[in-house]
Amino acid sequence: MIKYTQSRPTEVTNDDLLALYRSVGWSAYLQHPANTLAAFDHSTVLWATEQGHLIGLIRGITDNHTILYIQDILVMPAKQRQQVGTTLVHRFLNQHAAIGQTVLITDSEPRTQAFYASLGFREVLPQDYGRAFVLDRRY
């Protein structure tokens, strides 16, 4: 049975966390693992574990009043397409239901875009909402 918790499960180690990033091919987070791990100290996280093993998470940053920025949604490849990601997003959004604006940035993969669209997110187009800008200094 999958458990979803707001507090980091005691059995989840830093190595487990980095292994989750590695499993989905997010190598930028592995270039500076200390930064990645420190980011969790300043983020809101919902953890998904199964039999004590980390299988997914959603991580965001918020002021708890006006905006929620979803930074990461990760699910172990073996657990993808089993509603883990969908459940993480729904529960995370429900935890922050009073916040009016939720923002995320994702890649241009059609499968990923379809996933977010199925959850009610819409692409930012200049003619209907405004423009989005990113300054990425990770590399």
Classify residue 114: in a domain, yes or no.
yes
Q: Which backbone phi and psi does 50 adopt, to 5 degrees?
A: -135, 120
Q: Give every residue of the chain whose pLDDT is below 70, as ranges.
A: 127-129, 138-139
pTM of the prediction? 0.91
Classify residue 60: in a domain, yes or no.
yes
For 44-66, what is each residue's pLDDT tens digit? 999 999 999 999 999 999 999 99
Classify residue 128: in a domain, yes or no.
no
How high is the pLDDT of residue 101? Answer: 92
Classify residue 58: in a domain, yes or no.
yes
Classify residue 129: in a domain, yes or no.
no
Q: Which domain holds residue 98?
A: 2-118
Into how many domains does the chain fold?
A: 1
Classify residue 90: in a domain, yes or no.
yes
Burial class (CB in 10 A: 0-12, 13-18, 19+), 120: exposed
Domain CATH for 6: 3.40.630.30
Classify residue 127: in a domain, yes or no.
no
